[in-house]
Each structure stands twice: as C-alpha cells, then as structure tokens.
Amino acid sequence: MPLLELLRNAGVDNVDFLREAVSTLVHALMEADVQRRIGAKPYERTPARTNYRNGVRHRDWDTRVGTVHLQIPKLRRGSYFPDFLEPRRRAEQALVAVVQEAYVHGVSTRKVDELVQALGMTGVSKSEVARICAGLDERVQAFRQRPLEGRYPYLWLDATYVKVREGDRVHSMALVVATGVRESGEREVLGLDVGLSEDGAFWTGFLRGLVARGLRGVQLVISDAHQGLREAIGAVLQGASWQRCRVHFMRNVLAQVPKSAQAMVAAFMRTIFAQPDARAARAQLGRVVEFLRERYPGAAAILEGGAEEVLAYMSFPREHWRQIHSTNPLERLHREIGRRADVVGIFPNRQAVLRLVGAVLMEQNDEWIAASRRYFSRSSLEKLYAPQPSGDPVAMLPAIG
C-alpha cells in the first residue's frame, strides 16, 4: 500500500503538516546527535568538549511526503553525517513513524524515545526527546495565539469531552472549539481550549481570550443551551444575537414525547422551519404548540419557551439559514477530534490534548484556506451590513444578554 495512503488511514491527511513536522524533528535529532558526539551545546564552555561546530551543508532529502531541505551540521575536525538517513528507505519509514507516533499519541515521550532508538540514535535522553517534540507545541501555540483581523459576523461554539490524567485521577474534561466566518466569507478556526468543566467562568475566559486577540463584529453566536455558555456570551459579546442549536433543541422537545409518536411530532415541528420568513414561522410554531399542549404538555412548554432562541437565525440573510441554524458545521471537526482522541484513550495531561487537537484544527484551517472558496457569498454578506427597515419584525429579534 502506498505510504500516503497508509498515512491517511492513520489519520495524517495534511502532507504539508507532516513534511514540516519531519523537518522539525530531523533537525532537532541531528542537533541532539552532534551535541552528544562533541560533548557540548552550541557556545557552551565545558571540559567535556571534544570538537566544534563549523557551519552547515545543505542537502535536499526527497521523501514520499515531499522534499525536506536539510541543514546538516559540519564539524571542525572530521565529518558528520546522520546515521539514521541511511539506508534511506528504512530510515524514512522509521522517521515518518516517529512523527506519526508523536502526532497520534499526543507526543508520548516514552513511545517517541523508543522509536528514536530504533533509528540508531542511542543516548538521546527523555528530556531531549521532550525538547524535540516541543517544536510541535510551539507551532500549535502560535496558531492559538495568532491575531484575529477583521469582523466575524458569525461565531459557532461547541464542546466535546476527552479523558485527561491530572495528578492521580482521570478527569473527563471539556474541550471547547470556536469557528467563525469572516465578513469576506471565509471560514476560520478561531480558538480552542480545555478545562475541567463547561462552567460560566471557563467559557467567559475563553471568549475574552478571543476578544483580546481581535475578535469583533459578532452578530450571531450559534451554540447549544448550556447555561454557563449563555451567560458568557451575554457578558462578553454584548449586542450579539444567540441562535440555539436547532438540532439539539428538537432533541430536547422530542425527549418529552413517547418514541411511538416522535416521528410524527418531528415532522410537524419541521413545518415551522420550512416557512418563508420569521412571521410565518412564529405563527406555525404557535399552531404546533397548541397541537402538543393537550397531548404532550412537556414538549409544548419547551417549544414555546424556546421560540425566539430557535428562530433567531431567520433575522439574517436567507442564503445563510442552512448553515447558521445549528452547530452542525462543527460536527465534522468533532468527529475528527473524536477519532484521534480515541486512539490516545487517556491523555497524559492537558498540553497533550492541545497539541493533538491543535494539530487537527490547524490542518482543517489550512484546508479551508487552500480551498479558496467562500462559505458565504460576498453579496449575501453585504446584506448583513445593510440598514434594516424600521418596524421590520425580522429585525426585532432580541440579542442575548
């Protein structure tokens, strides 16, 4: 089976990311090897030193994940050539395996150390392996802290849970992800973080971090109805409307209905969202509530109480309705995160979560950029900034807060 197919089956879809990771790792390995051979770090004065560095020589290393531009260290006395580059085929496969293990397993020091030694790199300590793998952390951290420029009228927020070891216990921790759409129409991964729970303080800190990086111009936030998240949105993103995820909302309503009647009630509820505008949708919602009140009062109460929250998307351009009525645009990301997290099982710490999930989200963000395709057309987005007619009921939906 071709190597690229094997990599994709293992979950490594972005070849550019893998090639950069290979480059970062191989240069760090060469530096660690030279340091061991001459007995000193760069510019370090020590009695154990036996030789000196003398610049680098350039070499292109053609691999099946692309050309890696090597800068091989030169020594003042004698020559240096990294043993693990030969034989080329075996070394390349092993080196890619190192990166895959580091990538898939959240950079487990023990696993990477074992594979590094399989390359013939004896004497590399666990601390050196950790330092080598820290290069991946730096890239993810730069991605998480990059400035956000321009306006983001739409913001999606959602959370999933991963198992993380902290101290002597394993916790189920909240992994939160934010994506948005720029005013020019492109999608973007805006941020991620991990915490013990989805309480209001955690969400508030997360949103304030996005604002500090430049998030502005949010007109609609799409999320589920978690109370802590709602409070955070109202406190940090004042003036933004809130769309309660329609998919989750329907599940909440149907939970109050016997299974034998759920298909019928779901079909009736869908007629609400098939209406051409907010006025007609509200009228149809009222009819559905009256139908449910006598049969399933619990379902009727939830539907009536969440009317404005679940119809908020109808105050925005019709061309956007399909994408902004729920958190479904985040579902693909969560499936990919879940697939990678399942391989790891229990993460050794929070940083390992951020490392792996950050890499997944960097890949997705790169794919969106490479696609050069707007999520919404420029003409439809211009409607967001056009003056609303006074008294228009569609423009009178309340903001959260």
Q: What are phi and psi of 102, to 5 degrees?
A: -60, -40
What is the average per-residue pLDDT within 191-211? 93
Are 125 and 44 found together in one domain?
Answer: yes
Are 262 and 218 found together in one domain?
Answer: no
Residue 395 within a domain: no
pTM over 0.75: no
Residue 286 within a domain: yes
What is the average per-residue pLDDT within 97-113? 49
d(CA 69, CA 308): 57
Strand ranges inside 127-225, DSSP E: 154-166, 169-181, 187-195, 220-223
Are 41 and 125 found together in one domain?
Answer: yes
**Residues 322-331 pLDDT 10s:** 999 999 988 8
Are 30 and 120 found together in one domain?
Answer: yes
d(CA 9, CA 223): 31
Query: What is the DSSP annotation of 62-97?
Result: EEBTEEEEEEEEEESSS----GGGSSHHHHHHHHHH
Are 115 and 163 found together in one domain?
Answer: no
Residue 380 within a domain: yes
- Look at residues 213, 219, 212 and name the one whose alpha carbon lies nearest to residue 181: 219
User: What pLDDT sits at residue 324?
Assistant: 96
**Residues 126-160 pLDDT 10s:** 565 556 556 677 888 999 999 999 999 999 999 99
| 94 — pLDDT class (breaks 50, 70, 90) | very low
The DSSP secondary-structure symbol of 127 reads H
**Average pLDDT along the chain:** 81
Residue where one domain finishes, among candidates 97, 120, 144: 144
Cβ-contact 164, 349 below 8 angstroms: yes
What is the average per-residue pLDDT within 175-196? 94
Residue 264 within a domain: yes
Residue 399 within a domain: no
User: What pLDDT sits at residue 96?
Assistant: 43
Domain count, the chain: 3
Are 66 and 77 found together in one domain?
Answer: yes
Are 61 and 124 found together in one domain?
Answer: yes
Are 361 and 217 found together in one domain?
Answer: yes
Are 196 and 276 found together in one domain?
Answer: no
Asked whether the predicted pLDDT for residue 372 surpasses 50, the reply is: yes
Residue where one domain finishes, among candidates 120, 144, 168: 144
Residue where one domain finishes, among candidates 291, 326, 361: 326
**Residues 245-284 pLDDT 10s:** 999 999 999 999 999 999 999 999 999 999 999 999 999 9
Q: Give the range of the structural domain holding residue 287, as residue numbers without chain letter.
A: 246-326
Are 167 and 262 found together in one domain?
Answer: no
Query: How many whole angstroms from its chain centre is CA 375?
Result: 17
Residue 51 within a domain: yes
Are 21 and 123 found together in one domain?
Answer: yes
CATH of the domain at 223: 3.30.420
Residue 396 within a domain: no
User: What pLDDT sits at residue 165?
Assistant: 85
Are 236 and 250 found together in one domain?
Answer: no
| 244 — pLDDT class (breaks 50, 70, 90) | very high
Residue 73 within a domain: yes
Strand ranges inside 228-291, DSSP E: 241-244
